[in-house]
Structure 1
Amino acid sequence: MNVLPLLDRAGFDAALEDLGDVPLTLALIDLDHFKTLNDALGHAAGDNVLRSVERLLTGSLPAGSLVAHVGGDEYAAALPDTPAETALIVLSEVIRHFQQADNRDAAWPASLGMSVGLAYRPAHAQTLPDLMRAADAALYRAKVEGRGRACIYVESRMVLKSNYYPKASLERLSKLSAALGRTEASLLREALDNVAEKYRGEL
């Protein structure tokens, strides 16, 4: 049986860098209602769930994939030379396996599930930070659409109304987008991330 190594966040980031510009699908994986299980059954039960998830991911993803525990109940995986549509099939099967009663401890709440966000390089993003943001946006959509599913990133078309933003600012954004070879939406997401980080203490 081919079992992939489980990386930590630093090891995952380094391994991604080592892949260079290889086309790949990045998956961000988050457990649904994990806190509910921890609160009801205790952290030992939570740790058992995490070990189960790790065995499932490292034992089920294709050879050559990267798998990492990036914190809490969050995992990441990279599937080199794998289109997002193929990765969607693979991760959807992982989700179904995790949710089948035969593969679960009877004490686990029915609400405990798994959501996945997928983004593909180069179609969805060129740089690793942008790819992470795109996968995170897809994960958020999976949560909003009902959890227990995998979603592929869809570029959000931000409507910038000139009565909200000065024309000069919109023109500068457009020029910056062209100069960097990035979408205006990705630049705005980066700016929002920076604002959130700046005022983290207020959240």
Structure 2
Amino acid sequence: MARPDILIRSAFESAFERLGDAPLTLAVLDLDHFKLLNDTLGHTEGDRVLRGVERLLSGSLPTGSVIGRLGGDEYAVILPETAAETALILFDEVIKHFQIHRDPHWPRPLGISVGLAARPAHAHTFADLHRAADEALLRAKREGRGRVCIYVEGKMVLKSNYYPKSQLERLAKLSGALGRTEASLLREALDELIERNRGAL
């Protein structure tokens, strides 16, 4: 099976635009303490690590994934028709594989951190999704690095209400059938409601 190319930033953003409004998850990732590796083992070894990360991404992610190198040791991945929760499991496996198969000569802190943001749950445009995924990446760094985090809106307001039991049961069944959380389905429905009535806002 042919592995996907690693796109430069402009080609990656063009690939994102070609997907229109389709649901997807955008991942932003980079290497933890990559400068330490370059400083101690040299840039040639740094380049070898990056090639290894690229092989790991292109060989481990589902068919249809789009992988781009945004610059330096920062990469981004588009996972079409993939919920953020599913992407979290995929990237957790990537991080663990990297740790298990790491070269023993590499500095111990070297690892991979990942931030995720989904459309339509978190944002729609590339710029907004990238900003959200980058914020999730920073949270992964703050929480100890070598992990994956999903974007959480900073000013979320808890809404409580009463729903008929039949609606909640149907929501639970739909959640199971689609392999998505009930919360993500409700966020999507709210986004669609707001979009449909944008003229009234």
Q: Same fold (TM over 0.5)?
A: yes
CA contact 1:23–1:121 (8 Å) conserved in 2: yes
Residue 177 of structure 2 is matched in structure 1 by none
Q: Distance in 2 between matches of 1:99 and 1:84?
A: 22
Q: Distance in 2 between matches of 1:35 and 1:42?
A: 9
Residue 151, structure 1, aligned to residue 183, structure 2: no
Q: Distance in 2 between matches of 1:158 and 1:80?
A: 26
Structure 2 CA distance for partners of 1:97 and 1:19, relative to 1, 3 Å: same
Q: Distance in 2 between matches of 1:19 and 1:158?
A: 28
The CA deviation at 1:126 is 1.8
User: 2:118 is aligned with what amino acid?
Assistant: Y
RMSD: 1.8
User: 2:97 is aligned with what amino acid?
Assistant: H
Q: Distance in 1 between matches of 2:156 and 2:86?
A: 28
Q: Give the TM-score taking structure 1 as reference length.
A: 0.76
The CA deviation at 1:158 is 8.3
Q: Distance in 1 between matches of 2:33 and 2:51?
A: 16
Residue 56 of structure 2 is matched in structure 1 by 56
Residue 46 of structure 1 is matched in structure 2 by 46
Structure 2: any 5+ residue segments left out of the alignment? 158-193
CA contact 1:26–1:79 (8 Å) conserved in 2: yes
CA contact 1:2–1:59 (8 Å) conserved in 2: no
Structure 1: any 5+ residue segments left out of the alignment? 160-177, 182-203
Map Cα deviations across residues 25-79 of structure 1 (whole Å, 9 max, x no partner).
0000110000000000000010000000000011111000100111101100000
Paired residue total: 161
Q: Give percent identity, aligned residues only.
A: 64
User: 2:88 is aligned with what amino acid?
Assistant: L
The CA deviation at 1:88 is 0.3
Matches within 5 A, 1:64-103: 64-100=64-100, 103=101
Residue 189 of structure 2 is matched in structure 1 by none
User: 2:114 is aligned with what amino acid?
Assistant: V
Residue 12, structure 1, aligned to residue 16, structure 2: no
Displaced runs of 4 or more, over 2 A: none
Q: Distance in 2 between matches of 1:158 and 1:4?
A: 37
